Structure 1
Amino acid sequence: MASGSRSRRTRRSRPLQRVERSEDDREEPESVEQHPISIPDLRAVRLLLMQLGLPAELVYSIIDEAEYYPVVRGRYVGPQISLDATSGCQTRGGSCAAQLCMLTPPIPGGAPDESFKVKRVTWTIRGHDQGWGGERPGTFRSAYSWYEACIFRPVPSEGSSTNSRPGTAHGGGYGTLSGLLRRKYCAPKDTQDDLQEAGYSLVPVPGHTPGVLYLAREHVDPAKAEDAGRGIGAGFIESLQPGDRIGLWMRAQYPGWANFVKKAEVEVLYDVY
């Protein structure tokens, strides 16, 4: 399993957005988003700019530069979660632990004749690890607590399309998948039986450990990413579809290693056109 981000706290300015929050939200003071953006708002602004006589390429460029897009956000803010590599392992005597600490809501899609694209995924994580140090000073190499991101996808019910909109697939309801939160596993792949019961599948994506920020079509040097404590994000954004939910995992491996999280947030900026 590829190692993920050890970068613990990052902030990025962002435009006023429509926010769809997960069921795992906790109360926390924060700035008020006064002008949330909805999919109909996006359509209306795009049409207005075109009615002004601007060429389509310029309209799309303006929308993109302003980041005038809806957002889906999943957050965990609450009591500190701890994961020990030994006691958190599902297997007795094992020392490789995985715990799902946060889920986003399903990502909405547009109308049947509209295209869908995720523009950006941003992680903000506040926490710390515990373990042995000194093997590779000044880098995140040889650190055995990390985060991993995954994509959960509703399994289509009989007679429905694999590209069905949210709510048309078996298990697409909001609450079923949340039963995986904070269960003990050795690795995310060990959720298969529980996911099948919930009506979801785990989407295989190479290089899908979370960094601080993933951009569409972004290329990241794997060596530099590892030194900086982040994943390369290859294929993650391109794999996302309407109805998908993003999960954030805490990981710890080998005796003496542990992972602690106090706050975690994932923002998904998406476009329909």
Structure 2
Amino acid sequence: MGAYISSSVQANSSRPQSSRPALSSSNNSGPAYRGGHLHSSHGRRPMRLSRHNPWAFQTAVSEALKRRGYIDALWDALSNGDKSSHRAPVPCEVLPLILHFAGSYKEMTLSKEEPVRISNGNFAYLTHPIPTNLHGHQVVGARISVTSHDQGWSSEHPHLRGTYIGSYTWGEALVVESSSPTSTTEQGIPRVVVGTEVYRNLHAVKIWQTHEKTFVGPLASPRGKGQVDEESKEEGVQSDGGDLISALRPGRALALHLHAQYPGWTNFTQGAHITIQYLRVD
């Protein structure tokens, strides 16, 4: 049970170019989010969102999930059947499995391109809220991409440079509660539900590195009761990804926190993207 996690890192010798992934669903059936705007593939004018209040993104995502497109048309066609070809309706319990194995998800991407440097501390860089109304959808996966590097030097043994050994700058994915008064600490910091490391920078390497990690949760039952199909389990499954995705429910958020440990260590970050995948289940 749980989830498999795929992770990759790519070193870039030059400053990364601006890149803003889109918020979309398969076959252009959903809107797109770039920077501080929510864009629609149906020609609607973009709606500006506040960069200082990421929780306002809940409304935008909720509205996006409510819009009909290719995935909803496919759902209706399969569930209604076809009398002319004598095709029987597909049971509602099976429809989420068909969409899942076809990779038919609605993806919502929140991007930030703002250079920061964190020294001997941690910083909440980007927060992607889950809307309080998912309109019959369920979170099934997430992808985080970060471009960063460390200070480019260290007093450690030279043979450690260019490796991940003894690297003390990294990023962490955290599922946090909403910012309501009942779900924060006394300092006003959202409560952490679960977290896992996303990446570490190469030790004493001052070139930009693009780190990407994908989390895929267990395929839950259509009614969201957490039941997992035994035949869908993968070998080498790691439980932390499943815990992360299973914890992403309405009113919570997936947050990227940047870390640098010990004096002299600095985490330079150029930008990041957080993508959440939603599967229609009802």
TM-score, normalised on structure 1?
0.59
Matching residue of 1:242: 250
Q: Alpha carbons of 1:129 and 1:20: their partners in 2 closer, same or farther (altered >3 Å)?
A: same
Matching residue of 1:187: none
Distance between the aligned counterparts of 2:270 and 2:216, measured in 1? 25
Per the TM alignment, residue 120 of structure 1 is displaced from its structure 2 partner at its CA by 1.1
The counterpart of 1:101, out of the listed 125, 128, 132, is 125
Matching residue of 1:50: 79
Q: Alpha carbons of 1:44 and 1:234: their partners in 2 closer, same or farther (altered >3 Å)?
A: closer
Matching residue of 2:228: none
Asked if 1:202 is matched to 2:213, the reply is no
**Letter of the aligned partner of 1:119 in structure 2?**
V
Per the TM alignment, residue 8 of structure 1 is displaced from its structure 2 partner at its CA by 6.0
Q: Alpha carbons of 1:9 and 1:266: their partners in 2 closer, same or farther (altered >3 Å)?
A: farther
Distance between the aligned counterparts of 1:9 and 1:138, measured in 2? 11
Asked if 2 retains the 8 angstrom alpha-carbon contact of 1:6 and 1:147, the reply is no
Alignment map for 1:74-93 (pairs within 5 Å) = 74-78=110-114, 80-85=115-120
Asked if 2 retains the 8 angstrom alpha-carbon contact of 1:83 and 1:99, the reply is yes
Matching residue of 2:217: 216
The counterpart of 1:143, out of the listed 167, 184, 188, is 167
Per the TM alignment, residue 269 of structure 1 is displaced from its structure 2 partner at its CA by 0.4
Structure 1 unaligned blocks of 5 or more = 86-96, 156-169, 178-190, 223-230
**Letter of the aligned partner of 1:74 in structure 2?**
L
Matching residue of 1:167: none
Distance between the aligned counterparts of 1:153 and 1:9, measured in 2? 34
Asked if 2 retains the 8 angstrom alpha-carbon contact of 1:144 and 1:252, the reply is yes
Asked if 2 retains the 8 angstrom alpha-carbon contact of 1:72 and 1:268, the reply is yes
What SS class does the counterpart of residue 210 from structure 1 fall into? strand
**Letter of the aligned partner of 1:208 in structure 2?**
T
**Letter of the aligned partner of 1:34 in structure 2?**
S
Asked if 2 retains the 8 angstrom alpha-carbon contact of 1:120 and 1:213, the reply is yes
Per the TM alignment, residue 248 of structure 1 is displaced from its structure 2 partner at its CA by 0.7
The counterpart of 1:265, out of the listed 273, 279, 282, is 273
Percent of counterpart pairs with the same letter? 20
TM-score, normalised on structure 2?
0.57
Alignment map for 1:1-273 (pairs within 5 Å) = 7=9, 15=26, 16=28, 18=30, 21=33, 25=35, 34=41, 38-41=65-68, 42-52=71-81, 53-56=88-91, 59-78=95-114, 80-85=115-120, 97-111=121-135, 114=136, 117-130=138-151, 131-132=153-154, 134=158, 136=160, 139-154=163-178, 170=180, 192-195=185-188, 200-203=190-193, 205=194, 208-210=196-198, 212-217=213-218, 233-273=241-281
Per the TM alignment, residue 144 of structure 1 is displaced from its structure 2 partner at its CA by 0.3
Distance between the aligned counterparts of 1:264 and 1:239, measured in 2? 21
Per the TM alignment, residue 221 of structure 1 is displaced from its structure 2 partner at its CA by 7.4
Asked if 2 retains the 8 angstrom alpha-carbon contact of 1:117 and 1:270, the reply is yes
Please, what is the CA RMSD of the aligned residues? 4.0
Per the TM alignment, residue 77 of structure 1 is displaced from its structure 2 partner at its CA by 1.1
**Letter of the aligned partner of 2:197 in structure 1?**
T
Distance between the aligned counterparts of 2:128 and 2:277, measured in 1? 12
Distance between the aligned counterparts of 2:249 and 2:11, measured in 1? 28
Structure 2 unaligned blocks of 5 or more = 1-6, 13-18, 44-63, 82-87, 200-212, 219-233
For this pair of structures, how many residues does the alignment match? 204
Per the TM alignment, residue 73 of structure 1 is displaced from its structure 2 partner at its CA by 2.3
Distance between the aligned counterparts of 1:201 and 1:150, measured in 2? 10
Per the TM alignment, residue 61 of structure 1 is displaced from its structure 2 partner at its CA by 3.9
